[in-house]
Structure formats: structure tokens, C-alpha cells
């Protein structure tokens, strides 16, 4: 098989329609302006906010840009582009250890609000790890939503990995308990735990999550822990609140940003990175098992600002 | 929290605004800058915000600043009114088939928005109205989508029609309609797969369902947390499929839900229901005006404005009750108080606030100003000459006949109203005393 072209490359080459409008508008800004004036900043503000980056982060970015323009005597809009790309790239870059869990005996807890793509992401991740020769198990700790475990089971079959679950209405922490012991007994490398969608402002559901978290810590202290929060790329400013509130309950180690195959820009991830220092590790770009990619800051920003 | 600091900022800006009497351009601009920020933080689309703030600027500059409000608050008052304007204030519902036609509802939207859950919730709602709904599983793609609908259908005790995941949705939809006709179902709700608005094949699928089945309601289901893209999504669904209404889900979260405003602004389609939780009973009628204040997110400022408005009403009420005491209460005052009543949410809510009124008095007063009769009453008073309005004693039989003709009403109705007016007036004379003992001490003329 030829080397798989990444989503971002496809994007930039215009193989998907996703960001056409965005790319056009950025093109217009950097090429259409001859001076760095107030109109230029205003247009830039519009494009950034339309990308869901948020008012405050946009302000910060533009303030930094204004400073740089002054200090470094930037005269050309195109130089502004280079500056912005660098700044965001630096901020979004992943550390060395970002994907360590893939190589260790680990438990990956997947959390997030309703319908963002947790179960699907687990299916994709299971497929990926399995393809890398790992022994994988998925645990269906969503015992609440109708047919949640049927859905996860189907994904487990697609990925060809083990599935452990419990009946609808049963205690999710009990499912996790069973899964952890099964994983240990079977010598599983990575245990992926699917949880029910929950809104962060529901106290009892957040407590339930704590309990699941504690069960893992207690029953499998030697495992490497990874907690991924799944955020819908279409979500606006509330994603920041979600990341904040879920962080209160568990130590989040990374973000999966889904549904970027739509026209939403997922810019809120930049705000989250800047305020909470939580890195995006994967992006979801479709509904098939192959539609999960490791996050690449360079490509993300390149696509955002379109440097072909 | 992000919102707190915004609100603080807003208060800071307000302190520095100085228009007296009328709103100056500078003050309007300064306050609107903060409003713009608040709306953007609430995820209202940038372009929608821009247009909206332009409208408000035009209306606000030169407006009178209401008593008890500072200029900033006055701007917010106008902003809120315009928001309510844009969102609409009517509660809307799905369209039911007439003349024995089956009510068809197709649920469409992005992945994970809440279509399947809402399908089952809606089934419960129509069942409560004595209808017999059939749910149709047209999502043949998502793993366990059919099972999900079946489980939810069972919980609602509603039948689910499925041909499995091997048949095309169009075929399933057609077969479901035949099945519904044969088996006496009068509402059919189609659950479709989540899809991206830019996925042409999947959008064509919906269009062809609509071509082969007469769909009365195409309902776009949207996640309340959606960001700037809500505009692209809703306008594309509307252009390509044609939507009739919107259901907004997950409003039980803490999102401000600006997407609702964006969608209303770009499609003009009404939002019918709000998803308020995962339980199948968590579906509520959507109240656009309440949504407006949630999006603006300035509850504290809004309640301040309400208080100021109540103050003004209280002033007017006080004036009236003074008149009542002096027995100089006339038909003009009656008109004024009717206006107030409309504003304050009708008669019964006001009476509820008043201590010391018994049931028979309540019935009498209600007879006089029954909310339904308000229009007639108004017509009667407006048919009086200014002199008659000021002096009820002038009303002799021939004048009453003239008034009845003018108002287009029966003479008996005019007589009844005037009699009731005199009765209420008598009662009102006693009321200030009764009310003086009350704890809440609100003084209304009725
Ligand atoms: N287009 C697209 N759709 C996705 C992506 N990820 C998930 N989905 C779809 O989003 C919908 C919801 O996905 P789920 O995996 O069920 O989401 P969840 O977070 O597990 O949902 P709950 O368990 O109900 O909270 C499904 O229709 C998925 O196919 C993605 O990256 N792109
Ligand atoms: N808190 C809350 N959750 C909701 C609401 N409506 C739906 N959900 C949840 O959102 C998730 C997705 O709901 P679904 O009904 O599966 O969404 P869908 O649009 O059918 O998803 P696809 O078929 O995959 O496109 C589930 O976890 C639901 O329980 C709501 O009003 N409030
Ligand atoms: Mg799930
Ligand atoms: Mg569904």
C-alpha cells in the first residue's frame, strides 16, 4: 500500500471540501491586504473567531501579533502569517511522551460529554493499536445509554479485540473492575475504557466518573494511565468549560478532537491548549476505523492558515 | 469563569458611560462592544453578531434612558428586546396532518446531535396527545443504531419499524408508510443517520426520502453546544433538504447556546423543542424569549432592568391608588391599568400577589377585566368621549347606546362593563386599607 496521505495533506491539496471557506478567507487576508492596518486586524479577528478560537484567545493572539509587529518592525501582512503560524505551532506542539501509553501496559480512560465520539474513537484506537501488534481489550463502562454496549461490541469485532461489558443499568465501576482483572489475567497491553457521555455540570455523573477512576487506580496501580477527553470539533466555547470541569475529576492527559471532516475548525483546541495546557493528541476525521490520526501541530496550523 | 469577568467588565464600562436623558453614540458603542463580546462568548456566529449589533446601534442612539437605569443598562435593555424580537416569542409546535393524513416527521442532523434519543422523546409527547406513533429505523450505518431505537421504543411503549441494515433508507421509509397505513398509525417518525452537511451522497439520501414519502415535518436536530459552524450546518440542511423546524438538544448543560440564535437568524425556522436531559421525558417546549436571556448571559443586569421597570409600574400604580382614594378614578385610569396588567402577566398573576382578596371578590374583578374581554373593554372605553372617560357619571342611556354602536358591541355588554366598573371602584376604595396590612405591600388598582 502506498503511504497513507494524512487528512491534513488531503485537506490542503483540496481533496476534501472541509476548509474551503476558511482557506479562502485566510488567503484573502494575507494576500488581499498591502498594509498592516486596523482593517487587517479586524479581518484577522473575524477569521479567528469564526474558527471557534474564542474571543479571549483571539485577543491574546492579536495582542502578541501587534507587539511583534512593533518590536520586529514587521511591514508585510505575509510576515504576520509566518509569525502566527510559528506562535500557534509552538504552543500546540506535542511533548516527547505524548504517545507513551501505546508502548506500555496501560489503561486508557475515555471521557467526555454526550455524543462527541467516545465509543467510535475507542473503536478506531483499538484498530490502530491492534494493527501495531498490541493485545487490546475494550471495556463498556457505559451501562446507561440504550445499546451502548452493542455499539462498542460491534467496534470490538471490527477491530478484532476483546470486549468486556455489563448489562444496561449495572454499576459502571463494577464493569471496570471486571475488565481490569480480565485484562491482567489475559496479559492485555492496552485496556480501553469507554464511559457514558455525561455533561460536566451533573454532579452525580461526575462522581460516578471519580469512582471509575479510583477503581482503576486501586485495582491496577502498576498500569500506565492515560485519560483522553473527547471533544467534538463542532463545539464552540463550551468545550473549554468541559475540559476544565473534567480536569477537576480526573487528570486528563490529552484531547481527541473529533468530526474535523466537517466544516468546523476546532479552533477551541487552541484556546484549551493556551488556558489549560492540555494537548490535542488525536483527531477524528470520519466514521470508519481508519479515520483517526495523530495530531500534528504543524499540519493543523498549516491547514488553518493554508501554507500549501 | 469566563462569564464573570465579562460581566465585571461590563459593569466597569457602564460606570464610565455618562449620557444623561438620551443615549449618546459613544456610550452605545462602548456598551455594545461588551455585548458583542458576550454574544461571541455564547457562540453566536460572528456575522450574526455583527448584523445584530448594527441593528441595535441604530435603534439605541438617541433613545431615552429609562428612570432608574444607567446608560449601559439602557443599552442592555434594548439589546434584550431586540434579541427576543429575533428569537421570536411564540411557542411553536410540529405540524399535524389534517383530514386523516398521517403526520410524518423526519429527524435530520449532524452525528451525535441527539436524533435517535429525541425521536423516542417525541414519540412520548405525541402519545400523550392520544396519537399512535410509529418509529422508523432509517439509520443503517451506525453500529447498533437500530438496537438503540428499538430499546428506546420499548421504553416508550411505541412500535419500531425496521428492515435491518441491508435495505436502503428510502425503501425502509416507503415500507414503513405502507405498514403505518395498514395498521392505523397516525404519526410516523423517521430516525435517520447522522451526516455531515457537506457529504453530498448522504444529503441526497435525505432528499430522496423526502421525494418518495410525503414528509410534513423535517426537523433539524442541533446540539446546543455547537459553535460558529451552526450557521453553515443549518443553512446547508435547509437549502439542500428544506427544514421546517429545529430541536435543540443538551440544553441541560451550561452552554449559553448562541447556536440557537445563529440558526434562527440564518434559517428563520422556528425552534420547537429543547432537549433537557438523557431521560426520554426530558423534552420541553422551547421558549425563545427565555433563550434570548440565556444567550446574553447577563441575568444580573436583566433583573436590575426588570426591577427598574417594576419601579416605574409601581409609581404609576401608586398614582392610581391615590386617585382611587380620592374617588377620582376614571376610565382613562382604567385604560392605563389595563396596559400595566398586560405587561405584568395578566390579572390572575397580579391578584395572586395581593393579600386579603377572597374568592368571590376575585371572581367579580375577573368578570370585569377578564383577560379575554380586555379587547372589548378597550373598545368600549375608546368609544367614549374624553369628557365621558374623565367623568363616568355622564353616561346616560343615549350615550351608552352611542358607545355600544361605536365599539360594535351589544348595549348589554356596555351596561355590564359600566356596572362592573362602578363595583370595582367601590371595592378599590377599601383595598388600600386591606393591602396596608399585607407583607408584600404591592399596590395595584385591582
Ligand atoms: N464525521 C464524523 N463522525 C464521527 C466522528 N467520530 C464519531 N462520529 C460519529 O458521531 C456519532 C456519535 O459517536 P459515538 O462514538 O457514539 O459518541 P459517544 O461520545 O460515544 O456518544 P455517547 O456514548 O452517546 O455519549 C456517531 O454517529 C459517530 O459515527 C468523526 O471523527 N467524524
Ligand atoms: N444531556 C443530554 N444528553 C442528550 C440529550 N439528547 C441526547 N442526548 C445524548 O446525546 C448522545 C447522542 O444521542 P443520540 O440520540 O444517539 O444522537 P444521534 O443524533 O442519534 O447520533 P447519530 O445517530 O450517531 O448521529 C446520547 O448519549 C444521548 O443520551 C439531551 O437533551 N441532554
Ligand atoms: Mg458512547
Ligand atoms: Mg442516531
Say whether pLDDT at B318 is over 80. no
CATH number at residue B145: 3.40.50.300
Q: What is the mean pLDDT of chain B?
A: 84
**What is the predicted pLDDT for the residue at B326?**
64
Regarding whether B254 and B194 lie in a shared domain, the answer is yes
CB pairs under 8 A between A and B: 146
Residues 6+ apart with CB under 8 A from B248: B222, B223, B224, B257, B259, B260, B263, B271, B273, B274, B275, B286
The CA-based angle A138-A144-A150, given to 5 degrees, is 50
What does the pLDDT read at residue B73? 83
Range B276-304 average pLDDT: 88
pLDDT at B432: 46
- Residue B51 confidence class, pLDDT cut points 50, 70, 90: very high
Whether B25 and B116 share a structural domain = no
Residues B109 and B45 in one domain: no
**Structural domains counted in chain A:** 2
**Span A243-284, pLDDT tens digits:** 999 999 999 999 999 999 888 888 899 999 989 999 999 999
Q: Taken in order A248, B37, B310, B20, is the CA torsion positive or negative?
A: positive
In a shared domain, residues B182 and B65: no
Supply the pTM of this predicted model. Answer: 0.82
A210 and A70 in a single domain? The answer is: no
Residues 89-118 of A with CB under 8 A from B: 113-117
Q: B128 near B120, Cβ under 8 Å?
A: no
Instruction: Give the separation between CA A49 and CA A1, rounded to whole angstroms.
Output: 40
Please give the Cα distance from B270 to A240 (Å, whole number): 29
* Same domain assignment for residues B81 and B108: no
A131 with A21, same domain: the answer is no
Task: Identify the burial level of B416 via C-beta atoms within 10 angstroms of its C-beta, where 0-12 means exposed, 13-18 middle and 19 or more buried.
Answer: middle
A168: domain CATH number is: 3.40.50.300
**Which among A17, A146, A259 has the least Cβ separation from residue B111?**
A259
Q: Give the whole-angstrom CA distance, residue B90 versus residue B93.
A: 10
Domain boundary among A59, A92, A125: A92
Q: Is residue B394 part of a domain?
A: yes
Check pLDDT > 90 for residue B272.
Answer: yes
Q: Looking at the structure, do residues A77 and A200 belong to the same domain, yes or no?
A: no
Give yes or no: residues A100 and A247 share one domain: yes
What is the pLDDT at residue A20?
A: 54
A120 and A72 in a common domain: no
Cβ B144–A154 below 8 Å, yes or no?
A: yes
Structure-model confidence comparison of residues A141 and A21, the more confident one? A141
Domain assignment present for A71: yes
Please state the rounded mean pLDDT for residues A50-63: 92
Distance from CA of A121 to the nearest CA of B (A): 13
Residue B441 has pLDDT above 60, yes or no: no
In this structure, the answer to whether residues B214 and B123 fall within a common structural domain is yes
Q: Which ligand is nearest to the CA of A112?
A: 1
A34 vs A232, residue with greater confidence: A232
Q: Between these two residues, B224 and B406, which has the higher pLDDT value?
A: B224
- Eight-state DSSP code of residue A267: T
With respect to residue A254, please indicate whether it lies within any of the assigned structural domains.
yes
Yes or no, beta carbons of B229 and A264 under 8 Å apart: yes
**Domain end position, chosen among A71, A92, A113:** A92
Report how far Cα B250 is from the mean position of its chain's Cα atoms: 19
In a domain, A54, yes or no: yes
CA-CA distance, A72 to A87, in Å (whole number)?
14
Widest pairwise Cα distance in chain A: 66
Same domain, A200 and A249: yes
B301 assigned to some structural domain: no
- Is B156 found in the same domain as B198? yes
**Interatomic CA distance for residues B57 and B50, integer angstroms:** 11
- Note whether B224 and B320 are same-domain residues: no
pLDDT digits (tens, 9 = 90+) for A230-246: 999 999 999 999 999 99
Q: Is A114 in the pocket of ligand 2 (CB under 6 A)?
A: yes
Residues near ion ligand 4 (Cβ under 5 Å): B 115-116
> Mind listing the pLDDT tens digit for each residue in A165-195?
999 999 999 999 999 999 999 999 999 999 9
In this structure, are B234 and B322 located in the same domain?
Answer: no
Ligand 2 pocket: which of B117, B146, B155 to mutate (most atoms within 8 A of CB): B117
CA–CA gap between residue B179 and residue B269 (Å, rounded): 31
User: Is B1's pLDDT higher than 60?
Assistant: no
Task: Give CA–CA dist B39/B29, Å, rounded.
Answer: 15
Could you tell me if residue B445 is inside a domain? no
In a domain, A306, yes or no: no
Domain hosting A72: range is 2-92
Question: Average pLDDT for residues B200-217, to the nearest whole number?
Answer: 96
C-beta of residue B117 within 8 angstroms of C-beta of residue B268: no
* CB spacing of B147 vs A116 below 8 angstroms: no
What is the per-residue pLDDT for A301?
Answer: 75
Q: Give the number of other Cβ atoms within 10 Å of residue B221's Cβ.
A: 25
Could you say which ligand is closest to the alpha carbon of residue B273?
2
Q: Give the Å distances, CA to CA, from B420 to B348, B366, B378.
A: 17, 10, 14
Instruction: Confirm whether B443 is domain-assigned.
Output: no
Are A84 and A155 in a shared domain?
A: no
Name the residue with higher pLDDT: A49 or B336.
A49
> If we measure between CA atoms, which residue out of A290, B198, A296, A231 comes closest to residue A304?
A296
Query: A151 and A251 share a domain?
Result: yes
**Interface test with chain B among A7, A112, A122, A234, by most B beta carbons within 10 Å:** A234
In this complex, which of B141, B226, B252 lies closest to A234 when CB atoms are compared?
B226
CB contacts under 8 A, B 116-135 vs A, are none
Atom of ligand 1 nearest to the CA of A142: 23
Residues B341 and B254 in one domain: no
- Classified as helix, coil or strand, B190 is strand
B227 has a chain A CB within 8 A of its CB: yes
How far is residue A169's CA from residue A142's CA, in Å, rounded to a whole number?
9
* Range(s) of the domain holding residue B407: 309-351+370-437
- Residue B75 pLDDT > 80: yes
A82 with A139, same domain? Answer: no
Q: How confident is the model at residue B431 (pLDDT cuts 50, 70, 90)?
A: low
A52 and A185 share a domain? no
pLDDT of residue A236: 97
pLDDT at A305 over 70: no
* Residues ≥6 apart with Cβ < 8 Å to B85: none
- Strands laid side by side in the A106-111 sheet: A162-164, A136-141, A190-195, A106-111, A224-232, A254-258, A280-284, A292-294
Residue A255 located in a structural domain: yes
On whether residue B303 sits in a domain, the answer given is: no
Q: Both B328 and B402 in a single domain?
A: yes
The total number of structural domains that make up chain B: 3
Instruction: Tell me how close the Cα of A199 comes to any Cα of chain B, in angstroms.
Output: 6
Q: Which ligand is nearest to the CA of A118?
A: 1
Instruction: Evaluate whether residue A305 is within a structural domain.
Output: no
Does the interface ipTM go beyond 0.90?
yes
* Tens of pLDDT, residues B122-147: 999 999 999 999 999 999 999 999 99
Does residue A252 form part of some domain? yes
Q: Are residues A223 and A155 in the same domain?
A: yes
Q: Check residue B375 and give its pLDDT.
A: 78
Give me the CATH number covering residue A64.
1.20.120.140
Contact across the interface for B144 and A151, Cβ inside 8 Å: yes
| B383 and B238 fall within a common domain | no
C-beta A199 within 6 A of ligand 2: yes
Of the residues A92, A121, A142, the one at which a domain ends: A92
> Does residue A157 sit in the same domain as residue A135?
yes
Residue of chain A minimizing CA distance to B116: A146
Contact B225 A238 (CB under 8 A): yes
Of B112, B142, B227, the CB nearest to A268: B227
**Set of cell numbers at residue B306:** 426588570
Under the banding of pLDDT at 50, 70 and 90, the label for residue A1 is: very low
Backbone angles phi, psi at A131, to 5 degrees: -60, -25
- Residue A272's region, left for phi above 0, alpha for psi from -120 to 50, else beta, is alpha
pLDDT of residue A162: 98
pLDDT score for B3: 43
Decide if A304 is inside a domain. Answer: no
Predicted confidence at residue B30, as pLDDT, reads: 87
Give the per-residue pLDDT at B268. Answer: 95
* Residue B41, domain CATH: 1.20.120.140
A106 falls in which pLDDT band (50, 70, 90)? very high
Amino acid at each position: 500500500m502506498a503511504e497513507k496521505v494524512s487528512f491534513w495533506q488531503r485537506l490542503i491539496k483540496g481533496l476534501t471540501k472541509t476548509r474551503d471557506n476558511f482557506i479562502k478567507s485566510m488567503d484573502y487576508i494575507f494576500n488581499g491586504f498591502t498594509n498592516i492596518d486596523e482593517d487587517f486586524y479586524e479581518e484577522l479577528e473575524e477569521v479567528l473567531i469564526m474558527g471557534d478560537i474564542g474571543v479571549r484567545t483571539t485577543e491574546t493572539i492579536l495582542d502578541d501579533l501587534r507587539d511583534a509587529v512593533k518590536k520586529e518592525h514587521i511591514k508585510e501582512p505575509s510576515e504576520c502569517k509566518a509569525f502566527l503560524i510559528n506562535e500557534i505551532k509552538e504552543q500546540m506542539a506535542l511533548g516527547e511522551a505524548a504517545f507513551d501509553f501505546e508502548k506500555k501496559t496501560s489503561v486508557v480512560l475515555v471521557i467526555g460529554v454526550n455524543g462527541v465520539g467516545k465509543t467510535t474513537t475507542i473503536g478506531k484506537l483499538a484498530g490502530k493499536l491492534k494493527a501495531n501488534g498490541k493485545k487490546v481489550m475494550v471495556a463498556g463502562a457505559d451501562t446507561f445509554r440504550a445499546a451502548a454496549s452493542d455499539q462498542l461490541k460491534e467496534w470490538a469485532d471490527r477491530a478484532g479485540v476483546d470486549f468486556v461489558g455489563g448489562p444496561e443499568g449495572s454499576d459502571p465501576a463494577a464493569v471496570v473492575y471486571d475488565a481490569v482483572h480480565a485484562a491482567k489475567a489475559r496479559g492485555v497491553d492496552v485496556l480501553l475504557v469507554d464511559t457514558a457521555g455525561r455533561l460536566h455540570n451533573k454532579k452525580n455523573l461526575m462522581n460516578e466518573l471519580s469512582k471509575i477512576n479510583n477503581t482503576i487506580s486501586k485495582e491496577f496501580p502498576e498500569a500506565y494511565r492515560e485519560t483522553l477527553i473527547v471533544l467534538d470539533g463542532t463545539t464552540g466555547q463550551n468545550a473549554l468549560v468541559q475540559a476544565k470541569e473534567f480536569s477537576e475529576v480526573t487528570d486528563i492527559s490529552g484531547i481527541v478532537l473529533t468530526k474535523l471532516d466537517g466544516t468546523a475548525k476546532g479552533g477551541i483546541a487552541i484556546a484549551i491548549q493556551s488556558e489549560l495546557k492540555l494537548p490535542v493528541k488525536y483527531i477524528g476525521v470520519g466514521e470508519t476505523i481508519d479515520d483517526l490520526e495523530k495530531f500534528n501541530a504543524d499540519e493543523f496550523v498549516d491547514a488553518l492558515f493554508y501554507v500549501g | 469563569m469566563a462569564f464573570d469577568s465579562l460581566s465585571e467588565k461590563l459593569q466597569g464600562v457602564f460606570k464610565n458611560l455618562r449620557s444623561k436623558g438620551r443615549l449618546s453614540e459613544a456610550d452605545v458603542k462602548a456598551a455594545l462592544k461588551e455585548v458583542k463580546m458576550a454574544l461571541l462568548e455564547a457562540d453566536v456566529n460572528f456575522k450574526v453578531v455583527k448584523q445584530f449589533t448594527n441593528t441595535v446601534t441604530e435603534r439605541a442612539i438617541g433613545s431615552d434612558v429609562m428612570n432608574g437605569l444607567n446608560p449601559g443598562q439602557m443599552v442592555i435593555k434594548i439589546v434584550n428586546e431586540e434579541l427576543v424580537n429575533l428569537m421570536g416569542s411564540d411557542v411553536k409546535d410540529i405540524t399535524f396532518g389534517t383530514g386523516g393524513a398521517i403526520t410524518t416527521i423526519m429527524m435530520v442532523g449532524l452525528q451525535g446531535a441527539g436524533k435517535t434519543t429525541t425521536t423516542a422523546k417525541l414519540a412520548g409527547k405525541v402519545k400523550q396527545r392520544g396519537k399512535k406513533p410509529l418509529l422508523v429505523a432509517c439509520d443503517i450505518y451506525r453500529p447498533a443504531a437500530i438496537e438503540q431505537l428499538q430499546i428506546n421504543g420499548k421504553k416508550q411503549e411505541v412500535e419500531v419499524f425496521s428492515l435491518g441494515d441491508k435495505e436502503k433508507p428510502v425503501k425502509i421509509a416507503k415500507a414503513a408508510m405502507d405498514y403505518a397505513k395498514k395498521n392505523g398509525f397516525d404519526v410516523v417518525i423517521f430516525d435517520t443517520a447522522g451526516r455531515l452537511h457537506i457529504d453530498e451522497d448522504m444529503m441526497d439520501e435525505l432528499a430522496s426520502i423526502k421525494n418518495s414519502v410525503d414528509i410534513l415535518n423535517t426537523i433539524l436536530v442541533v446540539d446546543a453546544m455547537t459553535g460558529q459552524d451552526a450557521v453553515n450546518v443549518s443553512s446547508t440542511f435547509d437549502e439542500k433538504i428544506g427544514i421546517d423546524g429545529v430541536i435543540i438538544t443538551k440544553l441541560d448543560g451550561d452552554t449559553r447556546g448562541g447556536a440557537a440564535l445563529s440558526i434562527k437568524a440564518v434559517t428563520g425556522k422556528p425552534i420547537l423543542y429543547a432537549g433537557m436531559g438523557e431521560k426520554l421525558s426530558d423534552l420541553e417546549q422551547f421558549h425563545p424569549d427565555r433563550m434570548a436571556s440565556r444567550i446574553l448571559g447577563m441575568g444580573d443586569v436583566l433583573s436590575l432592568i426588570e426591577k427598574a421597570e417594576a419601579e416605574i409600574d409601581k409609581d404609576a400604580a401608586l398614582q392610581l391608588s391615590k386617585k382611587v382614594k380620592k374617588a377620582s378614578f376614571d376610565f382613562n385610569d382604567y385604560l392605563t391599568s389595563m396596559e400595566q396588567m398586560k405587561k405584568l402577566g395578566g390579572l390572575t398573576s397580579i391578584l395572586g400577589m395581593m393579600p386579603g382578596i377572597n374568592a368571590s371578590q376575585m371572581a367579580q374583578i375577573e368578570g370585569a377585566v377578564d383577560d379575554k374581554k380586555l379587547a372589548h373593554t378597550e373598545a368600549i372605553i375608546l368609544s367614549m368621549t374624553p369628557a365621558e372617560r374623565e367623568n363616568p357619571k355622564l353616561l346616560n342611556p343615549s350615550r351608552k347606546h352611542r358607545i355600544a354602536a361605536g365599539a360594535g358591541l351589544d348595549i348589554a355588554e356596555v351596561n355590564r362593563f359600566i356596572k362592573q366598573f362602578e363595583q370595582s371602584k367601590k371595592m378599590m376604595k377599601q383595598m388600600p386599607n386591606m393591602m396596608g396590612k399585607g407583607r408584600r405591600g404591592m399596590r395595584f388598582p385591582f
